[in-house]
């Protein structure tokens, strides 16, 4: 039995070595593609959205935690804003069911917000409510 097991193990190792030699090698990108996407030019959707918001909180693509920097907005009002989107303009937030105090808070911080088109990469699932960042 031991001899059979060692024979089978040896055959398996040999088969994998031969398969490694027979199968095609790795594919490499052409030089023109490599030069096109090398260095600082590589950007993803999230990077583009962050650049577009210009240091402001994007109401259509930010998570609830981005509102922590504004006292009184986190978590209740931030949750309403995040769940109430998408917005065409910053003032669309005022059409939500907000108390007078919440409307005053929004007016106070209004210049800190912007609106860009919603992106599926930043709005998929429950990431806007709980983005997994903990203290």
Which DSSP category does 114 fall into? E
Confidence (pLDDT) at 103 = 93
Is residue 87 a part of any domain in this protein?
yes
- Per-residue pLDDT tens for 34-63? 555 555 555 666 666 666 667 788 898 888
C-alpha torsion 9→15→19→21, nearest 10: 100
pLDDT value at position 80? 92
As a whole number, the mean pLDDT across the chain is 80
Q: What are the beta bridge partners of residue 58?
A: 114
Q: How far apart are CA 90 and CA 62, in angstroms?
A: 13
Residue 130 lies in a domain: no
Sequence-distant (6+) residues with CB within 8 A of 122 are: 45, 46, 49, 61, 62, 128
The pLDDT of residue 65 is 86
Position 82 in a domain: yes
Q: How is residue 117 written in tokens?
A: 């088109």
Q: Which H or E run contains 78?
A: helix 76-84
Domain that includes residue 37, residue range: 2-123
CATH code for the domain of 13: 1.10.150.320
pTM of the model: 0.60
The yes-or-no verdict on residue 100 having pLDDT over 90 is yes
| 129 in any annotated domain | no
What DSSP string describes 2-65? HHHHHHHHHHHHHHHHHHHHHS-------HHHHHHTSGGG---HHHHHHHHTTTSEETTT--GG
């Amino acid at each position: 039995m031991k001899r059979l097991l060692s024979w089978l193990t040896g055959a398996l190792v040999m088969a994998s070595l031969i398969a490694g030699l027979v199968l095609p090698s790795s594919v490499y990108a052409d030089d023109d593609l490599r030069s096109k996407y090398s260095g600082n030019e590589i950007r993803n959707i999230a990077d583009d959205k962050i650049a577009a918001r210009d240091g402001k909180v994007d109401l259509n693509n930010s998570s609830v935690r981005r509102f922590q920097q504004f006292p009184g907005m986190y978590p209740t009002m931030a949750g309403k804003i995040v769940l109430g989107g998408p917005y065409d303009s910053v003032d669309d937030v005022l059409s939500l069911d907000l108390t007078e105090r919440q409307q005053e808070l929004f007016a106070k911080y209004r210049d800190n917000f912007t609106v860009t088109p919603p992106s599926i990469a930043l709005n998929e699932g429950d990431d806007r409510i709980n983005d997994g960042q903990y203290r």
